[in-house]
Amino acid sequence: MTLLLMVVIAYLIGSLPVHVISGRKQLRPGMLPIGIHPVRNLREGLVLAGLQVGKGALATLVGLMFHGWTGAAFAAAAVVLGDLFSVFQRFQGGRGIAVAGGTLLILSPLLIVVGASIYLITLWVTRYLSVSAVFAALGVMLLTLVLFPELYVMGVVLFAGSLIMFRHRDLFKGRYRGAEPPIRWRGFRRWR
């Protein structure tokens, strides 16, 4: 019974809309789309990403404290599910990448380093956040199958990765063209 309560709490933590602190709902010229949350500058983007990572790490840590690694795995899955399908936003949540990264900070720090490296390299090459998210999720999923025999890590990574792929399904269908502006590296200095 406490495991079910902990999963519900983790889902609610994941459902919290942390982008509300930015006060921005619409993407305007000169704003970076971090996930689906537009930001005014790099500092605001890093704060929002840090809050998202913190959500995932907090929920996974709570699960680890109360039910061990099994509880951490269930909490990690619930917090990613909560971020993707937020009850506070009529089941229209975020993209799940940062929250999944926060869960991996607790479950497997090596995977977060690899995933962040893949994300940043792909972002530098393609300049699209969504393409980088898909490549990072795929890379982490494949690396998990090769390196980690622990069932709880494989289960969470495959579940979260599948949900992230589902959330980015418009990218695969070709309907995403023009929906996301590319990152412009030349004007990066003006985001201070």
pTM score, whole prediction: 0.79
User: DSSP 3-state assignment of 34?
Assistant: strand
For CA atoms 70, 75, 76, 80, the dihedral sign is positive
CA-wise closest residue to 52 among 87, 22, 90: 22
CA-wise closest residue to 192 among 49, 48, 50, 45: 45
Longest distance between any two alpha carbons in the chain, whole Å: 54
70-94 pLDDT tens trace:
888 999 999 999 988 888 777 777 7
pLDDT, residue 192, reads 44
- pLDDT band at residue 2 under the 50/70/90 scheme: confident
pLDDT, residue 41, reads 65
Cβ–Cβ < 8 Å for 84, 93: yes
pLDDT, residue 59, reads 92
pLDDT, residue 88, reads 78
